[in-house]
Each structure stands twice: as C-alpha cells, then as structure tokens.
Homo-oligomer: A and B are copies of this chain.
Amino acid sequence: MSNSPSNPKGTRDFLPSELSKRNHIIDILKKNFKNFGFSEIETPALEKNSTLLGKYGNEGDRLVFKILNSGEKVKKADIEALKSNNLNSFTKSVSEKGLRYDLTVPLARYVAQHQNHLIFPFKRFQIQNVWRADRPQHGRFQEFTQCDADVVGNNSIIQEIELIKLYDKVFTELGFDDLVFKINHRLILKGIAEYLGIASNLNEFISIIDKLDKIGIDSVVKEIKYMFSNVSISKLENLLKNKSLSFDNISSILCDIPLAVEGLDDLTSIFDFISNKSINNEIKFDLTLARGLNYYTGTIIEVSSKSNTRLGSLGGGGRYDDLTSLFNMKNTSGVGISFGLDRIFILMEERNLFPDHLKNSFDVIVINFGINYLKEIYPVIDRLRNQNKKVLIYPDQVKLNKQFSYANKHNASYAIVFGENEYNNKEIIVKNMIEGTQSTYNLKKIDSIIF
C-alpha cells in the first residue's frame, strides 16, 4: 500500500481536459486517413521477443520492455549467465515477450502473417501506444502514441503524392498553415555519394549530411574532406558550396548518374503534381534531409514548423523496400508517414488552436430539485441526448448556487430548471449560462426546445 500513489516515471495520466484535446487531433487524423482510403488495424501490445529483437539495433534491443515469464517458468532463469554478467542470455531465459516498440515492425509481421487475408495494395493506418525503456526526462515518455499510415505492396508515385496531400489536409484542418514539407530521395543521396566517389560509405556520408542543418555547409564540407580523403574537392564544392542547393542545380549536376536520375524523376513527378499553389503549406526539396532510419530506400519527407524549429519535426516518413523480408515475404514495397502526436499537441497548445468547445465536459446541466421532478422531465433529458447533447443531471438536491457553480466549472452552456413552481406552471426554464438569459417552454411541447 503506497502512501502517495503515483504512475510510473515516464508515463502519463490524462486528465479529461488534456485527453479531449488529444482526441481532437486523433479524430481529425482518423477521419482523413479513412477519407484517403486507409483502413484501421490493431496489433497487440505484446509481441514475441523473436519478432521485436534484432530489428532496432543494439540500442533498440536494450530499450524494448521485456515481460517476465509467468509462474513456474521463471525457474528457468539462467543464473550462470547472470553471474557471468551475460545479461542478454539471462534476459532470454526469463522473458519470451516484449512490448510493442514501434508500429512498423508489427506491421511487417502482420502483413507477412496475414498476407492471404489482405487485399494488396494494402492501405492501413494504426494509432496505438508504443513503449521504450528510455531514461524518463522532460518531454520524453516511456509510453506514447504513434500514428502511422502506410501503403504496402505498391510502387506507384501516386502514393507519395497522396501522402503529401494527406499531410496538408490534416495539418490544415488542425489549424496549421506555416509548415514546410521537406522532401528528398535516398537515391539522390546515393547518387551524390557515387558522384563524390564514396558510394561504399553511404551511411557515414548520410550521417554527415544529416548534420548540415545544425553545423552549416562549411563544416559539412570540412568533415567530408576529413573523413573521405579521396573525395574530389572540386566536385564537393561544386555540389555543396558554390551553388545553391536547389532541385534544378542538383538535377543538372547528377544527370549522368542513373541511380540519382531515378530519384530525381520521382521527385519531379511529385513536384509536377503538387505545386505550392495546390496545398496550404509549403513543399520544398531539401538535399540535407536524410532521416536516420536505415530502412528508407526512396522518397523521404519531413514536416516542420517554419516559425518553431526548436521543437523538431511534426511528422515524417518515406518509402522503404522489402520491409516484410524480415519476415520472409519478399518484394513488398512500403511507403508511409507518421504524425508526432505529442509535438503537434504542444504546438497547437502554444498557438491556441484547440477549439473552445473542447472545454465543456457537458453542454447542459439539469438542476436537481428532487428525484420526482427529475422523473417528470426525464423525457426532455432523453430527447436532448438523442440529439447528441451532453446532459448531466446534478446528482444531489442541494443549494442552487452549488449546482450552478459545478456547471460553471465544467463550462456548461445551458441549465434546465424544473422545480415546484415550474411543475405547477407546467413549464421548463432553460438558462443560457453564457449569455445569462433564460427561456420558458411549455412542458407539453418539449419538441419546441431548441438550444
């Protein structure tokens, strides 16, 4: 029995006021996912360790929450492994399952497992929690919600186009108009590495490019020169330093490198379809966009606010080939995006983008003058609820100011007053709590009550 009860560090309880805002975002996401033809799926929080481990790198493996085997099974604990400090073997001996770490590996597992029951191309969205045994710190949670939309089993560039349109639609509906959708292509980055003669060091090259935003072009050029002594300085400066990093410039420099041309063609198709006139936010080629995850192989995209760069990206995604090959299902391309719920929440809160009505826990309070009066007007309550009004009956027959104060704390818009006087006069009084006015209705004509 704990003296001051609390939730574990790194996890969150959501109060009603907070959750209604989160759900406002999620509702808009879901509606648009569906309107773009995505179907919702869910996978279990528990996955086999054999599904989870080895997919997220060593650090990821460490951060997967492992479930302790139940009952007698823990007797199989490998004490020798523990004594010899072989924590992996020890963990393996006492745990067979872990908690979902992201939504992408479970998607791959799901698609491979249920391939005969799915119709391809398979457009799915998924909004579920994931867990990571990160050190809890400000703004970093051990349990958080991921919101992903992916298309599995199709190579058409129309998917990338639709995903950008989807981003634009969702963020517009949430109230954003100052976002930039940065876009790049893994094959362009590969092409550049080839152009520079460092194709075999692609990952190192990408990790330097990734830093351009933070350290600037000069430092990037310096780092590349330092890391790769064989790089042609003139090509490097030609590419990064002396020219603007515009799509047209990059295109003309890389036009002889087939890999790069493939990537450039993809982006050209996208820019042909989506102009900055056809969306509410901005779309922009960004050579420095790399996105850390190794599994991307084609177009990559990232969403960020132009006025708040400190917060980081609000979403991102891209195309990955053969994700399901981890589960022995070959030649299945995927492309998807995700929305960063917590950051979107923070930015909307900062900008006051949540609609006012989210503050009401209910619309109408029914003032309590005793159970017999409540019974008499219950048909009115029923009718209002049928009209999708949120109606709360104040539960106790106490002083009116206590009841009205409860209603005000909840930002209720209307109060229904029906006591002895009203009963005798066969009427109902409806008070408008915001404007301070009131109307009187005939009890026999409740259909006429309009809020």
Chain A interfacial positions (CB closer than 8 Å to B): 1-8, 11-16, 19-20, 23, 31-32, 34-37, 39-48, 50-51, 54, 62-63, 65-68, 70-72, 74-75, 77, 79, 82-83, 85, 87, 90-91, 94-97, 99, 109-110, 112-114, 117-119, 121, 123-124, 129, 131, 133, 142-143, 151, 154, 156-159, 162, 169, 269, 272-273, 278, 326-328, 361-362, 368, 371, 374-375, 378, 385, 388-393, 395-396, 406, 409-410
Q: Are B74 and A91 interface neighbours, CB within 8 A?
A: yes
New contact pairs (17) apart from A6-B48, A45-B129, A65-B67, CB-CB < 8 Å: A1-B50, A2-B48, A4-B113, A8-B44, A8-B46, A11-B44, A13-B42, A36-B385, A44-B143, A46-B65, A63-B70, A68-B95, A71-B133, A74-B91, A75-B87, A94-B94, A273-B378
Q: How many angstroms between the C-alpha atoms of A278 and B382 in the bound complex? A: 11
The docked-state distance in angstroms from the alpha carbon of A326 to that of B121 is: 52
Q: Which one of B16, B35, B378, B385 contacts A35 once the chains associate, using CB atoms below 8 Å?
A: B385
**Are the C-beta atoms of A13 and B110 separated by less than 8 Å?**
yes
Return chain B residues, CB-CB under 8 Å to A20.
39-40
Residues of B within 8 A of A393 (CB): 37, 158, 162
Contact partner of A68 (CB less than 8 A), chosen from B42, B48, B67, is B67
CA distance A128 to B164 in the complex (A): 31
Given contacts A41-B13, A68-B94, contact A47 B7 (CB under 8 A): yes
B48 touching A74, Cβ below 8 Å: no
| Distance to closest chain B CB from A305 (angstroms) | 24
Q: Which residue from B71, B87, B327 sits with its C-beta under 8 Å from A74? A: B87
Contact B40 A16 (CB under 8 A): yes
Chain B residues near A91 (CB, 8 Å)?
68, 74
Name 19 A/B residue pairs within 8 A (Cβ), A-sorted: A2-B51, A5-B51, A7-B113, A8-B44, A11-B45, A20-B40, A35-B389, A37-B391, A39-B361, A45-B45, A46-B131, A67-B99, A68-B95, A72-B87, A74-B87, A119-B406, A156-B395, A158-B371, A162-B393
> Measured between C-beta atoms, what is the minimum distance from A422 to chain B in Å?
18
Q: Enumerate chain B residues within 8 angstroms of A97, measured Cβ to Cβ.
A: 8
Contact of A48 among B8, B44, B374 (CB under 8 A): B8
Contact B371 A157 (CB under 8 A): yes
CA of A187 to CA of B23, assembled, Å: 40
Residues of B within 8 A of A391 (CB): 35-37
Task: Determine which of B41, B328, B368 lies in contact with A3 in the assembled complex, contact meaning CB atoms within 8 Å.
Answer: B328
- The answer to whether A2 touches B327 (Cβ under 8 A) is yes
Q: B19 near A41 (CB under 8 angstroms)?
A: yes
A158 to B381, CA, bound (A): 13
Q: How far is the CA of A409 from the CA of B122 in the complex (A)?
A: 12
Minimum Cβ distance to chain B for residue A238 (Å): 33
Q: How far is the CA of A11 from the CA of B50 in the complex (A)?
A: 15
Contact A156 B396 (CB under 8 A): yes
Measured between alpha carbons, how far is A51 from B32 in the docked complex, in Å?
39
